[in-house]
Amino acid sequence: MWIDTHCHLDAPEFGDGHALALQARALAAQRGVERCVLPAVAVWNFETVRALAHRTGDAYALGIHPLYVDRASDEDIDRLDQALSDHRDDPRLVAVGEIGLDFFVPALCEEPLRSRQQHFYREQLRLARRHGLPVILHVRRSADLLLQQLRRIEVSGGIAHAFNGSEAQAQAFIARGFALGFGGAMTFDTARQLRRLAGTLPLDALVLETDAPDIPPHWLYVNAARRSAGEAQGVNTPAELPRIGEVLAELRGLPPQVVAQATSANALRVLPRLTGVSHA
């Protein structure tokens, strides 16, 4: 059994009425992906991810993504609070996410968005604490600042998604009850530091994710030269998760079943409500 702890099945890349998402989810199930976690990115897609998770037999998280804070209002924090209360008894609601900080996109590094991201991050950590939920963190050139706030506003752990930091940063997240999300980026030979961490960090700190439709693994990646020659970028879906898991198994010198079992157990530990989610 595999768990995809992060996929945006509601993304427009998956077509009108989620047609491609449903197909991809069925293929993923055939390949042994038992559960997926669908994080929201903004108030306008809360209902979509919730309905989709119910339809596919998966789990979801509610939150405001750092790349969407420029279009979010302060009232959206209250709307998130309300949604977390409204769905308190929905076993498929497993975390607050996707929240965090992005200091890779240049516009987000400048004021006022730099402070605005921090504001949304802090307020959403407070909501996660108040509602007793773990968090799914977007970490891009922001690990130290994310950790600084986690020391001030303690939450019950969660996942540092698409982790790509240093070993010290990894250990700091682990010490705060977080698992680190590894996905398509680790499949590239050029990602030396990331592959080294994937191979050496404690196995009980790792979870797998596709971040579909983003972060395609190397076997789907089409570089700029090939794209300009007319080749289409392959679409990343949860059906790729087992093959990504096999890459992790290879990096650690373990059989894939051992990695599947361990990473799934880790996902259930850091997202405890996921235990009650059975695939339809």
Binding site for Zn ion (CB under 5 A): 98
Our CB check for Zn ion shows the closer of 139 and 198 to be 139
Nearest-10 Cα torsion for 260, 206, 241, 238: 120
Residue 98 Cβ, how far from Zn ion at the closest point, in Å? Answer: 5
Residue 258 Cβ, how far from Zn ion at the closest point, in Å? Answer: 27
Q: Which two tokens stand for residue 205?
A: 């700190």
Our CB check for Zn ion shows the closer of 98 and 102 to be 98
Tell me if 198 sits within 8 A of 251, measured CB to CB. Answer: yes
Residue 146 Cβ, how far from Zn ion at the closest point, in Å? Answer: 15
Residue 271 Cβ, how far from Zn ion at the closest point, in Å? Answer: 15
Our CB check for Zn ion shows the closer of 66 and 157 to be 66
Helix, strand, or coil here: 115? helix
Distance CA 247, CA 199 (A): 10
Our CB check for Zn ion shows the closer of 50 and 249 to be 50
Residue 160 Cβ, how far from Zn ion at the closest point, in Å? Answer: 12
Residue nearest to Zn ion (CB): 98
Cα-based distances in Å from 267 to 54, 56, 179, 208, 274: 19, 18, 8, 8, 8
Our CB check for Zn ion shows the closer of 66 and 249 to be 66
Task: State the burial class of residue 106 (Cβ atoms within 10 Å of its Cβ: 0-12, 13-18, 19+).
Answer: exposed
> For residue 145, how many other CB atoms are within 10 A of its CB?
17
